[in-house]
Structure 1
Amino acid sequence: MDGFAAVDFFLAREVLQRGIAALYAIAFLSSWNQFPALLGEKGLLPAPALLRWASSSTRAARMLRPTVFRSWRYTDRRLRLLCALGMVVGLALVTGIPQLGPPWVPAVCFLALWLGYMSIVSIGQTFYGFGWEMLLLEAGFLAAFLGSRDQPPPTVVTVLFWWLVFRLEFGAGMIKIRGGREWRDLSALTYHHETQPMPGPLSRQAHLLPRWFHRGEVLGNHFAQLVVPWFLFVPLLGLWVASPWPYIVGDVAAAIVIATQLWLIVTGNFAWLNWATVVLAFSAVSVPFAARIPGSHPVAGSHPVPEPVEGSLPLWWLVVTCVVGLGYLVLSWWPARNLASRRQLMNASFNRWQLANAYGAFGTVTKERIEIVVEGTLSNATDAEWVEYAFKGKPGDVRRLPPQVAPYHLRLDWLMWFLPLGGLRRLDDPWFEAFLAALLRADAPTLRLIARDPFDGTPPASVRAVAYRYRFSTRAEYRVSRERWRRTRLGVVVGPARLR
């Protein structure tokens, strides 16, 4: 580092800008495909109704976060226009075109992504109530101040990214230590691979690993989330110490965070949470220190080390980034206090703009997997044949290999996992009732959210919800039955339901 210019972190900026932009493109694509059916004009939880409620009183208006749809009347067509523009801007940033201009050009692009996606999240209700939504928003805001390719990245913004990774990782670690006993007795990952919201292709193999390995996973998780994040700030010593070791420490800390996230990526589907953490962890990856020593040369036969971007920041841009840093210093009081609190909040925002948030995940781990299977029938007879609806991501068919979905986000499938956590006799969420009603109407947009309609567009006479206990089959059971899951029927928990 060189004062206000993080000259050693130009490669980190490239990864941050392009990676965050790619995640925004995926997020807008997810909303293009799913928002109208879930929250559109005729969706399960219509966003226009929420906007009408927000306009009913000043107090209600204050409760709704900023969204362009307050002044720009919501329609499904306008939502898709916003998503299309978001994807175009995101892909442009991935290619690096805006970064070739002055720093205000990529800044405007990232702020447009931030405000556009916030407009969607603000009216997304329970379907957008995930921690990685606010993580993407905060990352997009910070990325707006990384600058252009013809100048070094600002030191203050680089440090703010380290602070974001620290809150993300250390917050998750503290949530676990303060949460369920399974994290303290090292048994959490004995269950997690099997009971996580949406298993992936390798989740069963991970679950079948020896118990000692799962205990080692938990220990490694605690080390990566409670110890390693502190070392992300060590490169700051490079401002005063002419030595490569502060940068090496930061590189190693980033590598550990990235390695743990890659393990989570190959063993589960957590939308873009793990992918975003990998991208953000690159903020601590520096160019090799030797590349900056005058007169140094690469070893014969090796690849040349890329040159850092030298020079100083324009005064106006330096002022802008310092103001952002001072603003973040003020906003960071609340998440810092939350980290030290015994009543630590998980995935909480302390301001309307969702900046300087508190993060965390899986403070407790469920010990058994309960799946809600939705069935329908074309007959009104008492001995009617019931057929299952197949979802795109969540477990259903016991023979199907769980798909790799992330970093794409299947919102309906995720909420189906949350559904039974409140108790099997309390499946009264408004969105689920609306979902069953949409199936009874054979609503085409709703049917596109699932993998297979067993009735090929014909409205069923009745639908119902049946609870099953799922577990991964052992290797011996799989050799006999070729079933990846074994399930036990617990009973009908909703229905049979018919249209009035």
Structure 2
Amino acid sequence: MGWDWFWAPEYGPARFVVQRLLALCYAMGFLCVINQFPALLGSHGLTPTPRFLRNVGFRRSPSLFHLYYSDRFVLCCGWFGLLLSVAACCGVPDLLPIWASMAVWFVLWALYLSVVNIGRIWYAFGWESLLLETGFIAVFLGPAHTEPPVLVIWLLCWLLFRVEFGAGLIKMRGDPSWRDLSALHHHHETQPMPGPLSRVFHRLPGGLHKVEVLANHLTQLVVPFGLLAPQPVATIAALIMIVTQGWLMLSGNFAWLNLITVTLAFAAMDTTLLGWIPVDALTPGSVAGTAGPMWYRATVAALTVLIVVLSYWPIRNMIGRGQVMNRSFNKLHLANTYGAFGSVTRVRFEVVLEGYGTDGEWREYGFRGKPGDVTRRSPQVAPYHLRLDWLMWFVAISPSYGRGWLERLLVAMLRDERRILSLLRHNPFRETAPRYVRARLFRYRFSTAAEKRESGVWWVRDPVSELIPAVSLDDVSPND
């Protein structure tokens, strides 16, 4: 038999799809670096990186930016990562020798790891670690002119199992609304970043909301075990997960969480469903079916041992009573634990930022994705990630999430700092900066059908409190 067991040629089409979708996820990540890093984490951003690098060493946050940092260098890395992602999406690594193809995927992983490890609160999302863990395992998938190693396919399926099963467990152990099937009576309205169809989902009959919850429990607590079964059961399980993720994409904006989960699901599909993909024809110059060299096999075996050993921590977390979600147990973000919405908020609060101009009126700043203007329909943002908008949702739940940067954002408004204000969709003070700024807390809810017909509003809001009273530049230290 030899090494025949090591190769899985029937997963060639799956590898083709996984690598293209993974490259798309990387592209979204590097686009965020280009568009948002200078304002969020640049030298004059909301939470400057140079100060962090001076206080935290390489061992605590492995990143190439410990060797050299400048805002321009970060942008160069972002553009290089984006171009490399596009090249990977177009299949360029498939035309290279195995070592060069692996190098492309490794550089993408190392670049993004370098950003995440200095990103602090702005990069403390589960899908950052999920992209990194998926990306690291995918380094070893190999190019199209070699057969896919079955061990790497198994590792991707194992990762998907942990993502789904961990998310299911945290729900059942957490908020009682998941157990009494009432969670989605609230979730579509109170989720962090509603989408254009979220109001439609929220207005579905209560019985359908219960069906949604039951389907979620089935997909996350039962179906994942199908990934460990022979074909075609594994393909069917993956297909159910893809359909569920598509439903989530329609009902809200969760950055690239759904896309990367779909990416992993394709790894479980053999030619039973994907046989129509002409892999050879789509990668000119490749000769499918070639077994990789011995060094490549040894590297894949070492990867498998590494992930198996590191899996002790997420397994212990899943079976333990004090399960946590979205935590990395090492600085390389390998073998993480995942989960989402262990608690469901019943009421939606939003932080509204306002400025007071020379005309004696308070005017509202507009964000790109999060609810603000009640007449504006929530946009489709995912798989792109609006980091400031997401953090504002957390601030509305607990102001402590804004410690260290929310005040800095208000100062940027008073000083009319255009780099930081570029994170916003609408600046009502284009000519002169406001004299005062403040942060107010509102309660939001989706409009009823009658309210929508009468006034055209998507949201109805009521003031709750003043989160940060009016401040002017006279109240600000020159060093802020």
TM-score interval (norm. to shorter) = over 0.9
Partner of 1:154: 149
TM-score by structure 1 length? 0.90
Q: Secondary structure at the match of 1:153?
A: coil
Q: Secondary structure at the match of 2:164?
A: helix
- Does 2:435 match 1:440? no
Residue 2 of structure 1 deviates from its aligned partner by: 5.1
Q: Secondary structure at the match of 2:464?
A: strand
Change beyond 3 A, Cα 1:496–1:170: same
- Does 2:70 match 1:68? no
Partner of 1:300: none
Q: Any conservation in 1 of the 2:13–2:279 contact (CA below 8 Å)? A: no
Distance 2:63 2:273 in 1: 44
Deviations 1:213-233 (A, max 9, x none): 000000000000001111111
Q: Any conservation in 2 of the 1:146–1:153 contact (CA below 8 Å)? A: yes
Residue 305 of structure 1 deviates from its aligned partner by: 8.0
Distance 1:455 1:432 in 2: 19
Distance 1:313 1:224 in 2: 36
Name which of 71, 87, 105 aligns with 2:82.
Answer: 87
- Does 2:257 match 1:278? no
- Is there any run of 5+ residues in structure 1 with no aligned partner, and where? 56-60, 235-245, 292-302
Distance 2:420 2:272 in 1: 52
Residue 21 of structure 1 deviates from its aligned partner by: 1.1
Partner of 1:296: none
Residue 290 of structure 1 deviates from its aligned partner by: 12
Partner of 1:52: 54
Distance 1:276 1:450 in 2: 27
Distance 1:312 1:199 in 2: 47
Partner of 1:481: 455
Letter in 2 for 1:436: L
Q: Any conservation in 2 of the 1:442–1:457 contact (CA below 8 Å)? A: no
Residue 317 of structure 1 deviates from its aligned partner by: 1.1
For this pair of structures, how many residues does the alignment match? 466
Q: Any conservation in 1 of the 2:307–2:335 contact (CA below 8 Å)? A: yes
Q: Secondary structure at the match of 2:445?
A: strand
Letter in 1 for 2:384: Y
Name which of 235, 243, 250 aligns with 1:259.
Answer: 243
Q: Any conservation in 1 of the 2:356–2:362 contact (CA below 8 Å)? A: yes
Distance 1:388 1:41 in 2: 27
Partner of 2:327: 348
Letter in 2 for 1:185: D
Q: For 1:294-373, list aligned pairs within 5 A.
A: 309-373=288-352
Aligned-residue RMSD, C-alpha? 1.8
Residue 304 of structure 1 deviates from its aligned partner by: 9.6
TM-score by structure 2 length? 0.94
Partner of 1:171: 166
Partner of 1:295: none
Q: For 1:184-223, list aligned pairs within 5 A.
A: 184-223=179-218
Question: Percent sequence identity over matched residues?
Answer: 48
- Does 2:40 match 1:38? yes
Residue 22 of structure 1 deviates from its aligned partner by: 1.3
Distance 1:151 1:171 in 2: 33
Residue 309 of structure 1 deviates from its aligned partner by: 4.3
Residue 313 of structure 1 deviates from its aligned partner by: 3.0
Q: Secondary structure at the match of 1:122?
A: helix
Deviations 1:360-396 (A, max 9, x none): 11001100000000000124x9xx3101000000001
Name which of structure 1's ranges 489-498 and 111-120 shifts more when overlaid on structure 2: 489-498
Change beyond 3 A, Cα 1:289–1:446: closer
Change beyond 3 A, Cα 1:306–1:90: closer
Q: Any conservation in 2 of the 1:5–1:313 contact (CA below 8 Å)? A: no
Q: Secondary structure at the match of 1:356?
A: coil
- Is there any run of 5+ residues in structure 2 with no aligned partner, and where? 281-286, 475-480
Distance 2:29 2:355 in 1: 32
Q: Any conservation in 1 of the 2:141–2:152 contact (CA below 8 Å)? A: yes
Partner of 1:391: 367
Change beyond 3 A, Cα 1:428–1:107: closer
Letter in 2 for 1:351: N
